[in-house]
Amino acid sequence: MHLPVYFAPLEGVTDAAFRRVHSEHFTGVHKYFIPFVSPTQDLVFTPREKRNILPEYNQGYTAVPQVLTRKADHFLWAANHFADMGYGEVNLNAGCPSGTVTAKGKGSGMLTDIPGLERFLDEVMAKSPLPVSVKTRIGFTSPAEFERIMEVYNQYPLHELIIHPRTRSQQYEGRANKFIYRDALAASPLRIVYNGDLFTAEDCRRHAEENEKTAALMLGRGLIGNPALAQELSGGERLTKEAFISFHDALMQAHADFHPRNVVFGRMKEFMKYAVCSFEDFDKPRKKLRKAANMDMYLDAVHRLFDEHDISETPGYEP
């Protein structure tokens, strides 16, 4: 497949340790999107945000920081810092479905106030020191909202527009709406990136064949599930068990360098929630991993998985 592949930001999974270890073990990812920072009134990055965004934690690959805010001045404050740090792009989160976020008009909440979104983009596009890309959903409650939303985006010279074709109401349920995506793609002068439910190499190849204008694919759960997915798509080696185990162990060590055992357990369990799907007959091990209540139970479950199950024919993610 010829399309560039981007790693989607997943708060709680694709943190700095994950991105570093992933980029050291696998090829094929053109950009890693960093989970959002959300500026507050006092305009300081929290220690946790700093561990995610400072350049020293993002060496060896191309990273794109993301901002969750509805205030143009807060976005510009962050963008100016990112420019000073040497980043080449800043991304706006207009997709987050969480109730606490949307209640403040942020994330996909921005899609409920079209004049507000226009004012935001007017100011940000006029003053941003960096090219601005946007990651959006197709509406808050209905896909019918997307036509108007696209009219807004299409007015601006966005660096890229990443479309996750679900509404906020869908959260991550139901299906990504391919038809709405196709219509928006056909009518837009922008560089459009597709994101949503591409879980295997076959899914990605099919999307590329059916949507010639798509400029890049952004992969989240599929690329966590099969960490060699981008590598395979760009002509490199398919996922092997040796490569998986080596990645798994390095990731666990990287978390252990920074965090106590219970935090390492939580991070690894979250990662394996997706990655267990890359093994044959993963139903039982998935249940065992779900039940794991501490690190010992987790290690017991993964060691069994590694001993008794091979990598499946179609590694990826299954909801």
- Residue count at the site for ligand FMN (CB under 6 A)? 21
Does residue 195 touch ligand FMN according to CB under 6 A? yes
Closest CA to 248 of 22, 75, 4, 13: 22
DSSP class per residue in 2-40:
-S-EEEPP-TTTS-HHHHHHHHHH---EEEEEPPPB---
Stretch that binds ligand FMN, among 4-12, 141-149, 250-258, 281-289 (CB under 6 A): 4-12
Measured from the CB atom, is 117 or 219 closer to ligand FMN?
219
Q: What is the 3-state secondary structure (H, E, C) of 264-317?
A: HHHHHHHHHHHHHHHECCCHHHHHHHHHCCCHHHHHHHHHHHHHHCCECCCCCC
Stretch that binds ligand FMN, among 5-13, 45-53, 293-301, 308-316 (CB under 6 A): 5-13
Where b means 16+ CB within 10 Å and e means fewer, 158-175 reads: bbbbbbbbbbbebeeeee
Does residue 55 touch ligand FMN according to CB under 6 A? no
Stretch that binds ligand FMN, among 57-65, 177-185, 216-224, 302-310 (CB under 6 A): 216-224
* Residue numbers 129-148 binding ligand FMN by CB under 6 A: 135
Does residue 203 touch ligand FMN according to CB under 6 A? no
Calpha distance 123→278 (Å, rounded):
44
Residue 179 CB neighbour total at 10 angstroms: 9
Calpha distance 74→147 (Å, rounded):
28
Name the 3-class secondary structure at 80: helix
Q: What is the 3-state secondary structure (H, E, C) of 125-166?
A: HHHCCCCEEEEECCECCCHHHHHHHHHHHHCCCCCCEEECCC
Does residue 221 touch ligand FMN according to CB under 6 A? yes
Question: In whole angstroms, how close is the CB of 266 to ligand FMN at the nearest point?
Answer: 12
Say if CB 291 and CB 204 are below 8 A apart: no
How many residues would you count in the chain? Answer: 319
Measured from the CB atom, is 123 or 318 closer to ligand FMN?
318
Does residue 9 touch ligand FMN according to CB under 6 A? yes
Measured from the CB atom, is 105 or 300 closer to ligand FMN?
105
* Residue numbers 83-102 binding ligand FMN by CB under 6 A: 93, 95
Q: Which residue is nearest to ligand FMN (CB)?
A: 220
Among 220, 225, 227, 316, binds ligand FMN (CB under 6 A): 220
Question: In whole angstroms, how close is the CB of 36 to ligand FMN at the nearest point?
Answer: 4
Question: In whole angstroms, how close is the CB of 291 to ligand FMN at the nearest point?
Answer: 20
Calpha distance 257→192 (Å, rounded):
38
Measured from the CB atom, is 39 or 95 closer to ligand FMN?
95
Among 53, 208, 219, 268, binds ligand FMN (CB under 6 A): 219
Residues in contact with ligand FMN, shown as a per-residue x/- string from 153 to 192 under the rule CB under 6 A: -----------x-------x--------------------
Name the 3-class secondary structure at 260: coil
Stretch that binds ligand FMN, among 3-11, 109-117, 145-153, 243-251 (CB under 6 A): 3-11
Question: In whole angstroms, how close is the CB of 165 to ligand FMN at the nearest point?
Answer: 10
Calpha distance 288→233 (Å, rounded):
31
Q: Please give the residue ranges that form the binding site for ligand FMN (CB under 6 A).
A: 8-12, 35-36, 66, 93, 95, 135, 164, 172, 195-198, 219-222
